[in-house]
A and B are shown apart, each in its own frame.
Chain A
Amino acid sequence: MAFSRRTALSVAFAAAASLTMVGMTLPAAAETVLKRGIGSTIGTLDPQVNFLGYEAWIQDDMYEGLVTPGADGEPIPGAAEKWDISDDGLTYTFHLRDGLKWSDGTPLVAQSFVDGVARTLDPATASEKNYIFSSTISVTGAAEYMSADNKGVRDPKTLGISAPDDKTVVIKLDKPAPYMLYLMNSFYVAPLHKPSLEKFGKDFVKAENIVSNGAYHMSESVPQSHVTLVKNPNYWNAANVKIDKVIYSITEDDNTAIKLFKTGEQDITYDIPSDQIEPLQKEFGDQVHVTNSTETVYFSFNLKKPPFDNAKVRQALSMALDRDVMVNKVVKGGYVMSCGYVIPVPGYDAPKVPECGMDKAARVEKAKALFKEGMAEAKMDKLSLKIETTANASMRKFGETAAVMWKQVLGVNASVNSQDRDAWLAVFTAGTWDVFGDDLIGDFAGPETFLAYMDPRAEAGYNWVSPEYEALYDKAMAITDQAARYKVLAQAEKVLLDSYLTAPAAAAPSRSMVRSNVKGWVDNPAGWHGTQFMSLQ
């Protein structure tokens, strides 16, 4: 972006030129530049701390984990070229490639991966990713390492992750986690370049100091503006990396991002505003990419508050929702109607709430009858409720639509309270809510991540009690064969749906404009799109 002011002013066609040449340092013919958009401001580029979806995009380009998300998001060998899994599913041994190097040319050893995980778990790092190791996959010793009682004497040797030699990383788990490989990419297990951390402190992630091991390394970072990555010549697969430079620009306003795409200043946008999908499809055809994400949207009921402790009332509220109208006519924007909690992946035979197949009149009648019964059991005759949502426009629409439908079908006096995410979560934690306009973003595409969250023992705050669910979940986790495991998981989800703890609503989309000359973009629910798999034509 380094246009000198004098040049720009002196060139007569500056206006025209700036539209076509933006983002190029030099109009050199050979250099290929990809301009990608990211949503809001970058919180941090610290590999052990960052937590947002678009931070993961940058992280994935800059670092390589033990595995790498392939073009389709499925794990492929990364820094580790192969791995062994013990028969009990509790020990993973990763074998690193020969001659791995950091971007500064120094050798990369297995211990760096151990250092990275240890740093993530240290409370002084204040990383929100630590729960991955303590609860999503239970790495031996992780929970104890994190805990407050352990102050001052944290020894990485107590952790179930170790590097017996420079080319081997061993991870030991307390419980089997058959989805383990989905979490071994750089977003969770980035190696730590200890010398630069020790030298620069938290400034080690600044562009002038950073040392990384991915296909790209950072050359510039301007807060609120952009991050520029250039090809890392020391990457083991550098010969197959086709794009020389990636510029990630922050565009706070989605509509602005679309305008930038239209004027050619962005090749890939981070999102598409809901109402623009149809007009953009007319104008740009298959350059509009809309696909499932791993975000599931649902309404949760507060079991501690009458009458929501009554299952019939909850079921009635769920049945009163016309999901087809709600998702396909009101919210739109690529959201897909959902009849269950889990976002299904191929091979998972998802259970459905019964109202999904019912015709409208029967559904409404059943809802009314159940509501009457439930309210009588709860000894209440009128219901007023508040739906809490985030300020996100689509989430607000879900809330508003539900409020109208509950009013129209059940005569419930429903209002919507939408606020910023922190305040919204504070209401949840305080437990003062009636109905929560809820969402969960899975850590990967698979039923395990969703069902682990709803496990009553995970204490997500729903106050749900279900030994049956817990038993099924434990049973599933012990099964290494995916198809067999999915079967048991589906039974667990059925238990969840039958309890009507939640009323499922939709699967959120992942939406991007991708210019037609960008090759190698593959739509995938986990949203991995490594630049190293792309090329420009």
Chain B
Amino acid sequence: MWSYTLRRTLGSVPTLLALCVITFFMMRVAPGGPFSGNRRVSPEFVKLMEDAYHLNDPLWQQFWTWFNGVLHFDLGPSLKLRDYNVSELIAIGLPTSLEVGAWAMLLSTLVGVVLGIAGALRRNGPIDYSAGAIAMVGVAVPIFVIGPLLQIVFGLQLRWLPVARWDDSWQCRVLPVLTLALPNIAYVSRLMRSSMIETARTNYVRTARAKGIGEWRTILKHALRGAIMPVVAYLGPATAVTISGSVVVETVFSIPGIGRFFVESVANRDYPLIMGVTLLYGAIVIAANLVTDIARGLLDPKVSYE
């Protein structure tokens, strides 16, 4: 297993590198630049400003400078948030984004699995229908609608939770985490439900039940282990979904994370910041997929590390 992990980790390096090359040159194909936002600054001076940031050097040279920096853990200066280096911005924003994202992943997996099992066991019962309803809301209502709705209900009407604020208290985490978790709760519970129903029909579960082991023990000991595999396999893609969602959630709830950086840096042509965030997100998704595959291997004897 260790050699598999090592091989996969090494194998992801070229993937990341290719991602960086593509993003770097794609961004430079697009016209405009970081300093073209003010009409009263003359074009000659814009060029001088670009010179100050070496933006008029040959592209390959710029890429090499950037790449060399990455090797030394330096992602360069931000061109729009000029008081900071990209590394600093990521260091400040990442813990916040990770915290919200991790809670959302945890919540969606736990709630999704529980709802899925409950639905599968009592098919067409009240729990199944309410779980189905939650799932449908999670699928059919975009999070940029759910977020403001939750703000109105819990923040303004009931005044239980802050509308949008970020400090150390747990209250300000509730709404963003819930909003971010909902789409995945929906997906995981549906996945779990159908997988559970299917597993319940397999021979080994039937055998276990026939042996007279109690219903709950059968489920927890025998069925769950097989049924949870699709959920485990989904954790990788779920990470990507969560990152996409965080871009919206961080805007709605004014959370100082890195999700917002991406949208703004692309629009602002803040090249080093785009590259930094792309590299980071790519690494997170690749790592999540790797962890998912390892977990599947540990849980499921049928999966082998090729």
Contacts and interface: CB of A to CB of B under 8 A. Distances in A.
Direct contact of A and B (CB under 8 A): yes
Given A263-B159, A420-B267, A425 B37 contact: yes
Nearest to A443: B40
Interface in A209-258: 221-225, 249-253, 255-256
Contact of B256 (A15, A225, A429): A225
Interface stretch (A4-12, A325-333, A350-358, A359-367): A4-12
A43 B82 contact: yes
A44 B155 contact: no
Given A14-B169, A223-B93, A224-B260, A263 B155 contact: yes
A259 B156 contact: yes
A15 B49 contact: no
A276 to B, nearest CB: 13
A519 interface: no
A123 interface: yes
A135 B160 CA distance: 54
A59 to B, nearest CB: 13
A123 B52 contact: yes
B24 interface: no
* Most interface-central of B38, B52, B83, B89 (chain A CB within 10 A): B83
A186 B222 CA distance: 72
Interface residues of A, number: 64
Interface in A175-221: 202-203, 205-206, 221
A8 B174 CA distance: 14
Given A225-B256, A422-B32, A453-B40, A43 B48 contact: no
Contacts of B254: 249-253, 256
B168 A2 contact: yes
* Most interface-central of B39, B53, B156 (chain A CB within 10 A): B39
Interface residues of B, number: 56
B83 A206 contact: yes
Interface stretch (A109-117, A125-133, A488-496): A125-133
A222 B45 contact: no
A3 B83 contact: no
Contact of B162 (A22, A126, A131): A22
Given A4-B168, A126-B53, A148 B159 contact: no
B49 A123 contact: yes
Contacts of A460: 39-40
A265 B164 CA distance: 10
* Most interface-central of A4, A49, A130, A225 (chain B CB within 10 A): A225
A150 B269 CA distance: 28
B36 A425 contact: yes
B151 interface: yes
A460 B257 CA distance: 38
B160 A15 contact: yes
Contacts of A126: 35, 48-49, 52-53
B233 interface: no
Given A18-B171, A263-B159, A265-B165, A256 B42 contact: no
Interface in B5-63: 31-32, 35-45, 47-49, 51-53
A222 B251 contact: no
A461 B37 contact: no
Given A126-B52, A421-B37, A147 B81 contact: no
A159 interface: no
A123 B45 contact: yes
B161 interface: yes
Given A18-B171, A423-B32, A461-B39, A44 B165 contact: no
Nearest to A43: B80
A130 B45 contact: yes
Given A123-B45, A222-B92, A422-B269, A259 B256 contact: no
A147 B256 contact: no
Interface in A17-55: 18-19, 22, 41-46, 49, 51
A146 to B, nearest CB: 6
Contacts of A428: 39
A146 B41 CA distance: 11
Contact of A46 (B53, B83, B163): B83
Given A124-B52, A420-B267, A42 B81 contact: yes
A385 interface: no
A459 B163 CA distance: 47
Contacts of B31: 426
B187 interface: no
B271 interface: no
Nearest to A453: B40
B264 interface: yes
Interface in B140-194: 148, 151, 155-156, 159-171
Nearest to B151: A259
B155 A259 contact: yes
A457 interface: no
A472 to B, nearest CB: 21
Contacts of A41: 81, 260, 264
Contacts of B129: none
Interface of A: 1-5, 8-9, 14-15, 18-19, 22, 41-46, 49, 51, 123-126, 128, 130-131, 135, 146-148, 202-203, 205-206, 221-225, 249-253, 255-256, 259-260, 262-263, 265, 420-423, 425-426, 428-429, 453, 459-461
Interface of B: 31-32, 35-45, 47-49, 51-53, 77, 80-84, 89, 92-93, 148, 151, 155-156, 159-171, 251-254, 256-257, 260, 264, 267-269
19 contacts: A8-B171, A18-B169, A22-B167, A123-B49, A125-B52, A126-B52, A128-B35, A147-B44, A148-B47, A148-B48, A222-B256, A223-B92, A252-B251, A256-B254, A259-B151, A260-B164, A422-B269, A423-B32, A425-B39
Given A3-B167, A46-B83, A125-B52, 10 more contacts: A123-B52, A128-B37, A128-B38, A131-B40, A135-B40, A202-B77, A225-B256, A253-B252, A256-B253, A259-B151
